[in-house]
Structure 1
Amino acid sequence: MVNALATRVARSAHAADSSTVTLAGFHAWLDERRRADASKVERIPFAAMRGWGFEPVTGNLVHDSGRFFSVEGLNVTMPGRPVETWTQPILRQPEIGILGIIAKEFDGVLHFLMQAKMEPGNCNGLQLSPTVQATRSNYTRVHRGAAVPYVEYFQRPGRYRTLADVRQSEQGCWFYRKRNRNIIIEVDEDVEVLDGFHWLTLRQLHQLLVVEDLVNMDSRSVLACLPFPFQGCATGDAGPQAAPVGTELLSWITEARTRYEPHAERIPLNRVRHWQRSGDRISHENGGFFSVIAVDVQAGGREVRSWSQPMIEPHGTGLSAFLTRRVDGVLQALVHARVEPGYTDVLELAPTVQCTPENYTRLPAAARPPLLDHVLGAPPERVLFDSVLSEEGGRFYHARNRYLVLDADPALREDDLGPDHRWIPVPELLGLIRHSHYLNVEARTLIACLQSVDAPATPR
């Protein structure tokens, strides 16, 4: 029997325009929003930040309220790796935020309520965010600003139909055990569309994914959790959207988590080695990786109109790529069991290749990802998706990754893969996404990108 929700998702994935909204109308609306946006972000010295300061004993960079987040130090040991020990600054934000999208059916087609949201780290001002994208400090109004619009829908989700609801991690190289609730609810009641919000079909969102720096990281993460019927995952026009996760796959993940014994210990920021603090940045002595900087923000359309904060500024554009293939008609992706110091449970499944290529000029040759050259050397005819997309703009300043989906070279053999790489059917990955700490945020973005290139057959 065809899954009813999968059929409805598939219908939305084919609705390029609807009676509610056209893509041309959305672009005109967004252009108008951007012209009206008077937000300003200015890099400032640490001493000029309002409400933030370095603790005298630890050197940690903290907010006066003790809330929001802090910049601390991390001491990392990874036995057997090309670089076995290091220290670094890291963001610690123990509270769990809400990343929520409201869905509603118009004329038989699911639409999703999205927000054109300014974040201080966005390279282009407004980007398309979930209906609600808020930390606990924000939606409990620690900042004493206005209430977060629509947050009440996600504080009583039992009133509505839940399409997805799972806590997911974020970047384990920059965040220490960061998690957010990724949730999609469907409502039947009328929803007032506030200024800065817009309904879109899933197909329209997929089309917008190819636009550089438009659909933000949090939107991509939530959309990846949507039960999506990939081609070939079952019989029927829109078959079951996720396959049961096999014992063999779970055993492989458990074995990998057991094989590695990373140790990440929080330390005072003033004890990190090989990092230098100046008046306006904390950076590595070799100039690589990232810096911690400070910004002052003047923002329209936000709960608070002005503030200052620290941010992480990556050095270089990252690369995240999935190699894919079809076996007996079922789409598979080559994943990497990736260890990062900020993960809660040792490792998570990551893209085939995930790195910032420039960093490897400063690291031992053995640290270079084994399939990086395979990805960079792929001919154009094997490229299924290619777009540069921004990462989370609330904590990262102009952080961007090139996201690639590639048809794997048939000459790539199983013998070419190490023990940390494995081909996994995409329906099983969707099964894993329903649980926490299995797919990292870069892999979830690529799952959303895969949706845009592997839509199911048009449902009847």
Structure 2
Amino acid sequence: MTTTAPHPLLVTGDDRRVADRFTRSALTTDGRLLPTARFESWLAERAGMNRFAVHRVPFQDLDGWRFAEDTGNLVHSSGRFFSVEGLEVATDFGRVPRWTQPIINQPEIGIVGILVKEFDGILHCLMQAKMEPGNVNTLQLSPTVQATRSNYTRVHKGSAIPYLEHFVAPRTGQVLVDALQSEQGAWFLHKRNRNMVVQTDEDIEVRDDFCWLTIGQIHELLRVDNLVNMDSRTVLSCMPFGRPDGPARTVAGDDPFRAALVESVGGQRGALHTDAEVLSWFVEAKSRYAHQRRRIPLRELEGWRAGPDAISHEDGKYFQIVGVQVEASSREVSSWTQPLVAPVGHGISAFLTRRIDGVLHVLAQARAEAGTLDVVELAPTVHCLPGNYRDVPREHRPAFLDQVLSADRSRIRYEVVQSEEGGRFYHAQNRYQIIEADDLPLAVPPDYRWVTVAQLMGLLRLSNYLNVEARSLVACLQTLW
């Protein structure tokens, strides 16, 4: 007897019930346990209760880190955590066929997980005010658990990770979301984290620095610069939602954008391309390009200079490798040193959108980056550091970059500066934008496709389809119902 496997994007009855529960929480924009009006003072209180300090230091002051004699790679004496190595890339994707660069190699899968529980019939998320050394503003709103394998197995000999028992087997509770998702392919080699949402019915002690918030409250906080961290955004993006109707928020009939977004999230009206066509296009993109990577010694990089306190590109572009000394009384280890990636300038990540037969579509691209695991991932319409293209002819600039940079303010529906992962990146920020572009044609270049929000949410049930910047934008889109 043979059975037919369900379509990868098929939504079952159980999925709909889970999506409806997430949706009710998203429509609840204030919480009984910590009202949104009190959140700012709560966060300030948590900052005042702890001691934080981060300073740039030369590489020779990194305790436990060294440049390996044979390769020049920057490694930890334990052989764990991560290393900074060299990578050679040869590809026919994009305008540069070959380059070398530093890359973070961290061959382990971490956990980013949100614990949820119902209060008065509404799911609340247990969130954490967490310090990361690369954060521009020290504390940001983080998932319940945000830990590498080295951290949660306590290689650092620090204290245990709070609430970890809910996310590793054997566990109690119900797993609502569980998918392996990538991190930044430009700076990580094949790095993935397990994105999880787990529901508990147990009585949970709320530790210092933790609070219960509805999804709707977190969506409100996503409108604040550098507040909801990258790991929270990626887990939020993996949450399924139903059609966002309800008494707490009525679809505005006089806002065509919002009405089209509701239809796009609900997935009950037609998309320009079927799910099968989107998947076939994506597989075609993976097959179209050659993308070869070879790990090389850090000392063999071409065009990069190693100084006493930074490894940087000779053109002054892209990013640097720097060292920091950290003190954080609220962390499992109260002081340490480590290297970080420091981008040169702020980036931009934007989805261009248009309404097609009353359904909002976003323009996604199939994009290869240095460390991408499987050739390409779905990325925002535009994702780059604009400063890298200041002296590049217009025909060699990223497609649609000029449309994003020149967008009329009235067409920008979401614009917030968000930080990237502060555990590995120093002051890395992107301006996230969602822009109406109804004058764009339906016919787009081969590496681009118009897709609905429901189709993106379906792909997020799988692994390695949307890159981390696209996932952040999906989370931002969900704030606009």
* Displacement after TM superposition at 1:35 (Å): 2.3
Residues 419-458 of structure 1: matches in 2 within 5 Å? 419-454=446-481
Using a 3 Å threshold, how does the CA distance of structure 1 residues 277 and 246 change in structure 2: closer, same or farther? same
2:140 counterpart (124, 127, 132): 127
- Matched residue, 2:54: 41
Q: Which amino acid aligns with 2:439?
A: A
- Cα separation, 1, equivalents of 2:139 and 2:172: 31
- Matched residue, 2:181: 168
Using a 3 Å threshold, how does the CA distance of structure 1 residues 90 and 353 change in structure 2: closer, same or farther? same
- Matched residue, 2:41: 28
Asked whether 1:210 is paired with 2:238, we answer no
Q: Secondary structure at the match of 1:175?
A: coil
Q: Secondary structure at the match of 1:207?
A: helix
- Matched residue, 1:392: 421
- Cα separation, 2, equivalents of 1:283 and 1:209: 32
- Cα separation, 1, equivalents of 2:40 and 2:418: 18
* Displacement after TM superposition at 1:10 (Å): 1.7
- Matched residue, 2:327: 298
**Residue range with higher mean Cα deviation, 84-93 or 354-363:** 354-363
- Cα separation, 2, equivalents of 1:367 and 1:295: 36
- Cα separation, 1, equivalents of 2:232 and 2:69: 38
Residues 16-165 of structure 1: matches in 2 within 5 Å? 16-79=29-92, 81-156=94-169, 159-165=172-178
Using a 3 Å threshold, how does the CA distance of structure 1 residues 234 and 195 change in structure 2: closer, same or farther? closer
* Displacement after TM superposition at 1:240 (Å): 7.9
Q: Which amino acid aligns with 2:242?
A: P
Q: Secondary structure at the match of 1:3?
A: helix
Q: Secondary structure at the match of 2:104?
A: strand
* Displacement after TM superposition at 1:233 (Å): 8.4
Residues 363-382 of structure 1: matches in 2 within 5 Å? 363=392, 365-382=394-411
- Cα separation, 1, equivalents of 2:243 and 2:90: 40
- Cα separation, 2, equivalents of 1:167 and 1:266: 23
Q: Which amino acid aligns with 1:310?
A: P
* Displacement after TM superposition at 1:17 (Å): 1.7
Using a 3 Å threshold, how does the CA distance of structure 1 residues 191 and 147 change in structure 2: closer, same or farther? same
* Displacement after TM superposition at 1:158 (Å): 5.3
- Cα separation, 2, equivalents of 1:150 and 1:10: 25
Q: Which amino acid aligns with 2:28?
A: A
- Cα separation, 2, equivalents of 1:164 and 1:89: 33
- Cα separation, 2, equivalents of 1:17 and 1:314: 36
For residues 406-439 of structure 1, what are the alpha-carbon distances to aligned partners after superposition, in whole Å with 9 as ceiling and x for unaligned?
A: 111x321134x21111101111111101111100
Identity of aligned residues (%): 54
Using a 3 Å threshold, how does the CA distance of structure 1 residues 194 and 29 change in structure 2: closer, same or farther? same
Q: Secondary structure at the match of 1:375?
A: helix
- Matched residue, 1:355: 384
Asked whether 1:193 is paired with 2:206, we answer yes
* Displacement after TM superposition at 1:163 (Å): 1.4
Contact 1:82-1:366 at 8 Å conserved across structures: no
Contact 1:71-1:269 at 8 Å conserved across structures: yes
Q: Which amino acid aligns with 1:437?
A: N
Using a 3 Å threshold, how does the CA distance of structure 1 residues 145 and 290 change in structure 2: closer, same or farther? same
Residues 188-267 of structure 1: matches in 2 within 5 Å? 188-231=201-244, 246-267=275-296
Q: Which amino acid aligns with 2:110?
A: G
Q: Secondary structure at the match of 2:348?
A: strand
For residues 184-228 of structure 1, what are the alpha-carbon distances to aligned partners after superposition, in whole Å with 9 as ceiling and x for unaligned?
A: 001111111000001111111001001100000000000000012
* Displacement after TM superposition at 1:299 (Å): 0.7
Q: Which amino acid aligns with 2:399?
A: P
Structure 1: state its 5+ residue gaps. Answer: 455-460
Q: Which amino acid aligns with 2:130?
A: K
- Cα separation, 2, equivalents of 1:298 and 1:387: 29
Using a 3 Å threshold, how does the CA distance of structure 1 residues 196 and 125 change in structure 2: closer, same or farther? same
Contact 1:6-1:239 at 8 Å conserved across structures: no
Q: Which amino acid aligns with 1:254?
A: V
- Cα separation, 2, equivalents of 1:420 and 1:448: 23
- Cα separation, 1, equivalents of 2:214 and 2:364: 29
- Matched residue, 1:458: none
- Cα separation, 2, equivalents of 1:31 and 1:80: 46
Structure 2: state its 5+ residue gaps. Answer: 1-12, 245-259
- Matched residue, 1:457: none
**Residue range with higher mean Cα deviation, 20-29 or 115-124:** 20-29
Q: Which amino acid aligns with 2:310?
A: R
Q: Report the TM-score, using the length of structure 1 for normalisation.
A: 0.94
Contact 1:233-1:427 at 8 Å conserved across structures: no
Q: Report the TM-score, using the length of structure 2 for normalisation.
A: 0.90
Contact 1:319-1:356 at 8 Å conserved across structures: yes
- Matched residue, 2:196: 183
- Cα separation, 2, equivalents of 1:239 and 1:21: 33
Q: Secondary structure at the match of 2:355?
A: strand
Contact 2:354-2:440 at 8 Å conserved across structures: no
For residues 20-57 of structure 1, what are the alpha-carbon distances to aligned partners after superposition, in whole Å with 9 as ceiling and x for unaligned?
A: 22001222110111223321001000001100000001
Q: Secondary structure at the match of 1:159?
A: coil
- Cα separation, 2, equivalents of 1:279 and 1:18: 50
- Cα separation, 2, equivalents of 1:73 and 1:46: 17
Q: Which amino acid aligns with 2:440?
A: L
**Residue range with higher mean Cα deviation, 95-104 or 354-363:** 354-363
- Cα separation, 1, equivalents of 2:266 and 2:302: 54
Contact 2:93-2:290 at 8 Å conserved across structures: no
Asked whether 1:270 is paired with 2:299, we answer yes
Using a 3 Å threshold, how does the CA distance of structure 1 residues 151 and 269 change in structure 2: closer, same or farther? same
Contact 1:283-1:290 at 8 Å conserved across structures: yes
RMSD, aligned CA: 2.2
For residues 258-300 of structure 1, what are the alpha-carbon distances to aligned partners after superposition, in whole Å with 9 as ceiling and x for unaligned?
A: 1110111110100100100010000001111000000010111
Q: Secondary structure at the match of 1:428?
A: helix
- Matched residue, 1:411: 439
For residues 348-405 of structure 1, what are the alpha-carbon distances to aligned partners after superposition, in whole Å with 9 as ceiling and x for unaligned?
A: 0000110110001255644311201111111122111000000000000000000001
